[in-house]
Amino acid sequence: MAIFFYLLINITYFLPKKKKISPKGYKYRKSYTEPMKSDELFSWLSQYHLDANIKPNLSSIVNGQYFNSQNTKPIEEGEENHQTYGALILADGDNLVRRLKKERIILDLSTPMFSPADNYDLFAGYLSNNKKKDGAFVYDGKNMTITRISRYNNHSSPSMQEVRENYQQYMPANFIYEKAGEMTPEDYDHDIGTKTDLAMVLPVSHTREDSSVHSYQIKATAYNSLGFGKVAHFGPQGIVEELFFRYAPESEGLFACPEQKIVGIHRVYKREAGGRPKVASEKVVGPSLEEYFRQK
């Protein structure tokens, strides 16, 4: 009998233990502070675009057009809206900064200092605290931290230039103008700036077997007549998804901003080998981006 209880005690010791669930884990539905999953950075940046750029400027919108407060003229599609905040985030594991500094894509002299950003509040707070400074951001998806880089360039290595020359495989023709049927090389040179070029090129040129690079961007360039930019997500195969806002008074609901009849549009893309990106799905989003992306 003594031997039986000895074996029972030892077997019980090696059985899997039940994982304790902290009460904090149940706060996400109310506070939106659950740690980030790999596909949540886009949803966070989309929510930030709505909170920091769209809602504070609703009073400047008249009949679906954003009017420049300085000269009372509407912001035209393709024109930069200086009343909004653009941002570029490059994301990977914990070695992206080291790789980009070695290749002289990041030109900062000092070592970037990372800050915690494992929930939306910390993420949005960091962007807001740095929104008046030029540069870009790097997100460490392994440790869920973020840092700002001051100086960078779209370094033209052979691999990066090859991606750039094949931009039609990675970027939709209507990326800048909603009704555009094509984007010529001249259009690319004229309309695609350093940040957007880097956002498209780097995930393709710098993804390795042990390192999947993604980029996320809020564009300040107006997309469609509403006058606000879009949020774009690029991965190793080119554009992954984008979210933009549109004036849609005919919509029957799901307004992101009901008082101005503004809806959010979420497009997801697919690309066959050697082909151009195509829209795989397009959905109307609103009024809660948080709820939409959580259920997606």
Q: What percent of the chain has pLDDT over 70?
A: 85
Q: At what angle do helices 194-206 and 158-165 cross, to 10 degrees?
A: 110
Q: What percent of the chain has pLDDT over 90?
A: 66
Which residues sit opposite 87 in a β-bridge? 218
Tell me 150's DSSP state. S
Given a cut of 80, whether residue 62 has pLDDT beyond it is: yes
**For range 47-57, the mean pLDDT:** 95
Question: 173-177, 238-242, 290-294: which has the minimum mean pLDDT?
Answer: 290-294
Decide: 293 and 286 in contact? Cβ < 8 Å. no
Given a cut of 90, whether residue 290 has pLDDT beyond it is: no
Average pLDDT across the chain, whole number: 85
Given a cut of 90, whether residue 22 has pLDDT beyond it is: no
Given a cut of 60, whether residue 165 has pLDDT beyond it is: yes
Tell me the C-alpha distance between 160 and 278, whole Å: 23
pLDDT of residue 128: 95
- pLDDT for 200-218, tens place per residue? 999 999 999 888 999 999 9
What pTM value is reported for the model? Answer: 0.85
H-run or E-run covering 41: helix 41-49
- Comparing 225 with 37, the larger pLDDT belongs to 225
Given a cut of 80, whether residue 273 has pLDDT beyond it is: no
What's phi and psi for 186, nearest 5 deg? -65, -40
Q: pLDDT tier at 21 (50, 70, 90 boundaries)? A: very low
pLDDT of residue 23: 32
Residues 6+ apart with CB under 8 A from 75: 65, 66, 67, 68, 81, 222, 227
Helices (H), 68-225: 96-102, 120-129, 158-165, 185-191, 194-206
Q: Where is mean pLDDT largest: 21-35, 45-59, 86-100, 247-261? A: 45-59
pLDDT of residue 37: 54
- pLDDT for 67-100, tens place per residue? 987 767 899 999 999 999 999 999 987 788 988 9
Closest by CA to 52, choosing from 139, 140, 143, 125, is: 125
